[in-house]
Structure 1
Amino acid sequence: MHVLLTEDDTLIAHGIVAGLNAQGLTVDHATTAAQAEAMLHAACFDVLILDLGLPDEDGLALLQRLRRQGLNLPVLILSARDAVAERVAGLQAGADDYLLKPFDLRELAARLHSLLRRAAGRCVNLIEHGRLRYDPSGCQAFLDGVPVDLSRREQALLQTLLNNRDRVLSSAQLKDAVYGFSDDVESNALNVHIHHLRRKLGPSIVETVRGLGYRLGPVGDSMPVRATAEP
């Protein structure tokens, strides 16, 4: 899951980024409304976490403008404004969820997974694809019921493909999902992660569409009969 966090408090932002990274999410951070808007136009995100008290513009005004522009990704407002009227205004402005500060990182992560699950049209957290099952909250993949050890980057890649069934995703879209705006990504890094997924889950799990990108492949007999967790 690729998350854009818009939060001007550096201490809070660093804590959120570290906590969500530890739970397998890719997080980019913006400190102002203008920076967040520019990043949303420059890359693909799955969900936006939005603080309301931004230094250059009120978060509600930013949200309303983004919705008028056609932005349809899920938005979770994270704010200390606890009045009922404030929460109602946030939801009416286009937010999909509203979480009050202070908060527990586990609840924040659970709400993000819930938003993405609803956006993908799923009613349960567990994602199934033939013999493969993936639990995004628990960061665990299973093949024929046996746990498969995946790195954080491999999990991000797998979840992006699972959440975009039948869609062809470009290399740039996959890199956004796996790395965010990181500048220290080697040119062949994405291919390495794809290779590892194919090795662990079978060569058909990632299908190459020549000249366009990649998509989730069919689960068939080419997948391993059994996978074991790596040490």
Structure 2
Amino acid sequence: MHVYLYQVGSGGRPLLDELHSERMRPVEIGPQFFNGDLRLLNRAGHDSHAFLLSAGPDLIDQITRLRRAGCGHPILVLRDRADPENATRALDAGADDDIVTPVRALELKARINAVLRRAHGHAADSVSVGEVKAFFDGRDPEVSGHRVKLSRREHMIFQQLVLNVRRVVSKAAIYDAVYGMSDEQPFDKVIDVYICKIRKKLGQAAVSGHQYIETVHGRGYKLDAAETEMRPVAAAG
């Protein structure tokens, strides 16, 4: 999971270490970030990147700029003490959550995932597609009742398909969601390789043998059930 991290003052190393411990990938930003063209953040695949903003004198302006640029990213405010009045102002400006630190990265991850799944129309913490039960909190999926182990990178890619279940996700959107904030930019074919690996794992675990990830040529990929699983059973008689 990628996060943009804005911190006021020094002493932010413990939070960075905490985020890394939960396999979150923080990118530190400064005040100049909010003076750029924030509309670029609206590219497909970037909406799953979250903002962790340290409370400071420019907080409301920062939130307002993001929302006015059309950014739908999760925005979580971090403050060092309870401040109901200013927390209310931040939430009214467009923040999704306001949290008093210190806070564990595991909780931050859960709060970000909750915002993301609701933004994509999912109320529960999991979604079932045929024999596949996929979770939004980073747990490995279950296929035909058995856990299927995914690598960290496979998780990141699979999560994009799960958030957009039964909808086509372009390869470019998946690439940006997984690698868009990385210093290392591999060839886009790497997505095809990972998709093949995930598809194989799902198919091997499924009793039906269905691989569940469909390639929609010229458009991208889609997580969906087999047609026979979606077809209604005819009434007897």
**Equivalence for 1:146:** 146
The match for 2:33 among 21, 24, 35 is: 35
Deviations 1:7-55 (CA, angstroms, capped at 9, x unpaired): 355514522430331xxx5x341321433665772551323222233xx
Q: d(CA) in 1 for partners of 2:27 and 2:82? A: 23
What residue identity is the alignment partner of 2:40? H
Contact map agreement 2:78 2:99 (CA 8 A) in 1: yes
Greater mean alpha carbon deviation, residues 60-69 or residues 90-99: 60-69
**Equivalence for 1:11:** 13
TM, length-normalised to structure 1: 0.80
Q: d(CA) in 2 for partners of 1:219 and 1:7? A: 47
SS at 2:167's partner residue? coil
Q: d(CA) in 1 for partners of 2:120 and 2:130? A: 18
Q: d(CA) in 2 for partners of 1:19 and 1:40? A: 31
Are the structure 2 counterparts of residues 211 and 34 from structure 1 closer, same or farther at C-alpha, using a change threshold of 3 Å?
Answer: farther
**Equivalence for 2:234:** none
What residue identity is the alignment partner of 2:17? G
TM, length-normalised to structure 2: 0.78
SS at 1:214's partner residue? strand
Are the structure 2 counterparts of residues 33 and 165 from structure 1 closer, same or farther at C-alpha, using a change threshold of 3 Å?
Answer: farther
Are the structure 2 counterparts of residues 59 and 81 from structure 1 closer, same or farther at C-alpha, using a change threshold of 3 Å?
Answer: farther
Contact map agreement 2:200 2:211 (CA 8 A) in 1: no
SS at 1:106's partner residue? helix
Deviation (angstroms), 1:179 = 2.6
Deviation (angstroms), 1:190 = 1.2
Deviations 1:85-112 (CA, angstroms, capped at 9, x unpaired): 1111111111111111111222212211
Deviation (angstroms), 1:217 = 3.4
Moved over 6 A (4+): none
What residue identity is the alignment partner of 1:60? I
Higher Cα radius of gyration:
2
Contact map agreement 2:38 2:69 (CA 8 A) in 1: no
Contact map agreement 2:39 2:69 (CA 8 A) in 1: no
Deviations 1:58-96 (CA, angstroms, capped at 9, x unpaired): 122011122122222321112225211111111111111
Deviations 1:166-205 (CA, angstroms, capped at 9, x unpaired): 4332222101222342232432321111110111113642
Root-mean-square deviation over aligned CA pairs: 2.6
**Equivalence for 2:163:** 163
Greater mean alpha carbon deviation, residues 119-128 or residues 199-208: 199-208
Matches within 5 A, 1:186-197: 186-187=186-187, 188-197=189-198
Q: d(CA) in 1 for partners of 2:37 and 2:26? A: 12
1:179 aligns with 2:186: no
**Equivalence for 2:223:** 216
**Equivalence for 1:63:** 63
Q: d(CA) in 1 for partners of 2:15 and 2:31? A: 15
Deviation (angstroms), 1:210 = 2.1
User: What is the total number of aligned residue pairs between the two structures?
Assistant: 215
**Sequence identity (%):** 32
What residue identity is the alignment partner of 1:30? E
**Equivalence for 1:51:** 54
For structure 1, the residue ranges without an aligned partner over 5 or more in a row are 223-231
Contact map agreement 1:81 1:87 (CA 8 A) in 2: no
Deviation (angstroms), 1:132 = 0.3
**Equivalence for 2:79:** 79
